[in-house]
Amino acid sequence: MTTTTTELDPEEIAQIGKELDTLRRRVVEDLGAADAGYIRGVVAAQRLCEVSGRALLFAGWFPPAWFGGVAALAVSKILDNMEIGHNVMHGQYDWMKDPALNSRTFEWDMVCPGEQWRRSHNFMHHTYTNILGKDRDVGYGILRISEDQEWHPYYLGNPIYAAAQALFFEYGIMLHDLEVDRILQGRRSWADVRPLVAPMLRKTARQAGKDYVVFPLLTGPLAPLTLTANIGANLIRNLWAFAIIFCGHFPDGTEVFTEEESEDETRGKWYLRQMLGSANITGSPLFHLLSGNLSHQIEHHLFPDLPSRRYPQIAAEVREICERHNLPYNTGSLSRQLGSVVRRIFRLAVPWAA
């Protein structure tokens, strides 16, 4: 059911906002060499993984080398998309004044153009988080992911749509900005989306040319093995990104909101919506790195422009604020959160789950 903020006293909501503002200000004032060194170290590790993976595929006839190449390339793509690209494009490192880490010009290793991502994700999703009718990340225009979405026979295919989205996640992200469902409903014209198509096609051609033509040809007679390795690496990245993103947004306990509830929203109420609409995933430091620290989705939604390495450091304070104000702090293992997401996708496919 939809959660309202009227259960909390306005003064208490304002106090929550002040506490979180204070926490954010303290982190901003402490940013420095350690944060810069961290992201540059991740970039170096990502490049090393890519070079190692490409090199191993020159010996792809030897199975351990082929599997090693796939693994290294998959890790490279995961780091590029999750810890580097997503976070850099949020402006987390703009304070460094490094052109290579500039949020307005950064481009990542996936088919979705960075400029379109910055608009659909950074603005639409993070401004209107979990507001039905405004945040298109609720179901991505494809899935029924909340009881508050009216059931339609189309949603009987919920599990199939989710599986396809997981396998082809980067393409789903690319097409997200087109709002195809609204075009089919007559609520948006093709003329509205025509300017988006050319950048999508150019980026897709560039990515496909790199992964499926140029690099395979460079390995000569091993081209088929290299092609399958690149397909495998992209598939692993897609499945991983899907799991992390869905576990941070749609497990049991995450809430959705109406447009009416978000009218005249104060800073404190905005913070409250972020906390109630997000979920964390527990894991090791390596797990958090490979998730882009989106395993701390609550902290990310509260402070999307703070360097991601800070999220584990402030998570205990955020949790303490939640507990002190009797608010839920949704966290659990990957298996628990992913299991609840899968159950929700199947459960909401049928009308009696409404």
Q: pLDDT at residue 1 above 70?
A: no
For 124-159, how does the pLDDT look when each residue is reduced to its tens digit (9 = 90+)?
899 999 998 888 888 878 899 988 888 999 999 999
- pLDDT score at 11: 93
Spatial CA neighbour of 112 closest among 193, 173, 201, 178: 173
- State the burial class of residue 330 (Cβ atoms within 10 Å of its Cβ: 0-12, 13-18, 19+): buried
Q: Which residue in 327, 331, 329 sits closest to 268, CA to CA?
A: 327
Q: Tokens for 43?
A: 């970039």
Identify whether the C-beta of residue 343 lies closer than 8 Å to the C-beta of residue 159.
Answer: no
319 neighbors 280 (Cβ within 8 angstroms): no
What pLDDT score does 192 carry? Answer: 80
Cα–Cα distance, 66 to 224 (Å, whole number): 12
- Model confidence over 172-206: pLDDT tens digits? 999 888 877 777 777 777 778 888 999 999 999 99
CA angle 74-294-287, nearest 5°? 55
Could you tell me the pTM of the whole model? Answer: 0.94
Q: pLDDT confidence of 104, banded at 50, 70, 90?
A: very high
Strands 331-332, 280-281: parallel, antiparallel or unpaired by DSSP?
A: parallel
What stretch of H or E contains 352?
A: none
Alpha-carbon separation of residue 172 from 150, 231, 242, 272 (angstroms): 22, 16, 10, 29
Answer yes or no: is pLDDT of 274 > 60.
yes
The predicted structure's pLDDT at residue 2: 38
The span from the CA of 292 to the CA of 38, in Å, is 12
For residue 216, pLDDT over 90 is answered with yes
Lowest mean pLDDT among 184-188, 205-209, 339-343: 184-188
Mean per-residue pLDDT of the chain: 93
Q: If you ran DSSP here, which 8-state letter would residue 332 be given? A: E
Confidence of residue 4 (pLDDT cuts 50, 70, 90): very low
What percent of the chain shows pLDDT beyond 70?
A: 98
pLDDT at 336 over 50: yes
Q: Counting Cβ atoms within 10 Å, is residue 147 exposed (0-12), middle (13-18) or buried (19+)?
A: middle
| Separation CA 119–CA 349 (nearest Å) | 30
Cα 155 to Cα 63, 245, 348, distances in angstroms? 42, 21, 8
